[in-house]
Structure 1
Amino acid sequence: MIKIAFYKGLLIDINQKEQQFSATGGDVVLQSSDMIVHLHETLHRLREYLLGLKSVTNQEEIELFKEVKPQVLGKLIFYNEVYRIETSCPFSEGKMYIKYFSGQLKLLKKNSRLYRDNEFFRYYRSGRSDRDGEYFVRGQLHHFTGLNSFYFETDPNFSTYYDHLLARIIAHELLYAFLLTRIDPETRSTSLSVIPDELRWTGTKNALIELIYALYIAGVISNGKIGLRKITLIFQSIFKTPLGDVHHAFHRMKDRSGKRTLFIDQLKDSLEHYMDKSL
């Protein structure tokens, strides 16, 4: 049986390492290199742990290959791309610098079309779970469906094919956000040095995502002319908290039983309680 605390601990460790980098700033190339090593080791630990188990239920496999491995592998792919892009950039500032990263963003958008219109992508975006047993349990593939050739190079004991696709989607979303910070002068010029180091988001990530969506949907930031991705980037920078795939997290909130706006309701209750005390 999989111990949930084990792989949740791995994800917490990754987030803490990212927060350290975010707080200290520094060389992106060196940080990416360090994260590549750390994530590769984490992926190896995850594989060894899984293969060492005597038995695993389908539900445990689904949680592992849907919620855990894609996050680790997705970030590994992301940091590897950041390292490649940054070390290939021939400029440090100016119009040619922005042009270089704009070109990388166009290339990313072009490549994303390869999976953006397929059935699995729509399934993932919708937040569905009815086909999880088909997508995230090992040994469910039929080769005659026409697989991407990368599958034949993966370890069938540590892959369901679709966990790799999901990791690539996550990596593309992270890379898209990163490239925006490189081509947007306003975002790029934002210095974390003016933000107090002790400023941290101490609530849950889902709470922050709920708040971001509420502000975005209400259109109260820049009269609604600023996109969700940029708002997310700003909040991540301010609170030094990587949020990962906010779209997927939001779709999961929509399936909550009972109150779906837990954090917004909590804010309302806290504020009204404070107002009552102040009378």
Structure 2
Amino acid sequence: MKHSLEHIILEIHNKEDKILSQCKGIIDEAYEMTLYLQDLLFSIKKDIVDEGFKSDTEEIQFFRTIKPQILGKLIYYNKVYRIETNCPVNNGKMYYSYFSAHLANLKREYIEHICNTDFYRYYRSGRTDRDPVYFKRGNINYHDGLNSIVFEIDSEFSTFYDYKTARIIANELLYTYLLTKINPDENPDAISQKPGSSKDIFWTDSKNALVELTYALYASGVISHGKIGVRKISLMFQILFGITLGDLHHAFHRMKTRAGSRTAFLDQLKISLEEYMDKGL
């Protein structure tokens, strides 16, 4: 199968990095990623339907790990777009209440429909013994009283449980996103209040590069003897450069799983400094 998990994750991350580097707003980012992921899923579906799988192992891997990564991100970005475009105000108590209500709904949905299920416990425990049942096509057991969405799925491109896995992934991303929106330390008002003396100071690399630097400073404990949180370090940079970094944890997760060097920006910083030192020799 030409669509490996590593290749898909790298492809998605590269697209996210490209969009983030353009410093677009969250609505534009979510919209573009929704369209991109929808097209990616459609393209892969065509390949799967046309070519099939070489083995049961390949089929299980696809529906357990590869498709849920794409579909989970698609559900996430589509939800973010809907939330952001329906937001009544840009800040204040109504803004906080709006995102708090969405967080409460997400938690309620998680408790009622996800965390108490046998499948969720199976997936979270890392078990694989029932993978042939959950992640091979044609094994849907209607006696289990499954959600009615099962009647709408494409049996050639879904096992139903790949959708449930995607929902778990999407809910985790949404949870982090909503927490970030209601966190007082990341109030958009504070970020917009850039000191007048630093109006000519702005960040010219990608947002991901600044996230990488932020986490490096946090992990090394070099600011306030390591007693300051990563969000406050991030806020410091956001105020200084007049930039909004958004979902830190999401960006950091992408950083941990990207192909090649996970510290590409820091690696380049070292090279640049050494080259600058060599000029003075």
Gaps of 5+ in 1: 202-210, 227-234, 250-262, 264-279
The equivalences for 1:142-181 within 5 A come to 142-181=141-180
Would you say 1:243 and 2:243 are equivalent positions?
Answer: no
User: Once superposed, what is the RMSD of the aligned Cα atoms?
Assistant: 3.6
The equivalences for 1:69-84 within 5 A come to 69-84=67-82
Q: CA deviation digits over 1:117-164, x for unaligned, max 9?
A: 101111111122222111111112221111111011010010011000
**Contact 1:32–1:82 (CA<8 Å) still a contact in 2?**
yes
1:25, distance to aligned residue in structure 2 (A): 2.9
TM-aligned CA distance change 1:145 to 1:35, over 3 Å: same
**Contact 2:31–2:77 (CA<8 Å) still a contact in 1?**
yes
Q: What amino acid sits opposite 1:142 in the alignment?
A: N
Inter-partner Cα distance in structure 2 for 1:54 and 1:107: 39
Q: What amino acid sits opposite 1:97 in the alignment?
A: Y
The equivalences for 1:1-279 within 5 A come to 2-5=1-4, 8-113=6-111, 114-189=113-188, 197=205, 222=227, 241=251, 243=253
The higher radius of gyration belongs to: 2
- Superposed structure 1 runs of 4+ greater than 4 Å apart: 188-191, 193-196, 198-201, 220-224, 235-240
Inter-partner Cα distance in structure 2 for 1:85 and 1:176: 13
Give % identity: 38
TM-score normalised by length of structure 1: 0.69
**Contact 2:20–2:29 (CA<8 Å) still a contact in 1?**
no
Gaps of 5+ in 2: 192-200, 210-215, 232-244, 263-281
Q: What amino acid sits opposite 1:243 in the alignment?
A: H
**Contact 2:21–2:207 (CA<8 Å) still a contact in 1?**
no
TM-aligned CA distance change 1:55 to 1:29, over 3 Å: closer
TM-score normalised by length of structure 2: 0.69
Inter-partner Cα distance in structure 2 for 1:240 and 1:182: 13
Q: What amino acid sits opposite 2:150 in the alignment?
A: Y
SS at match of 2:69: helix
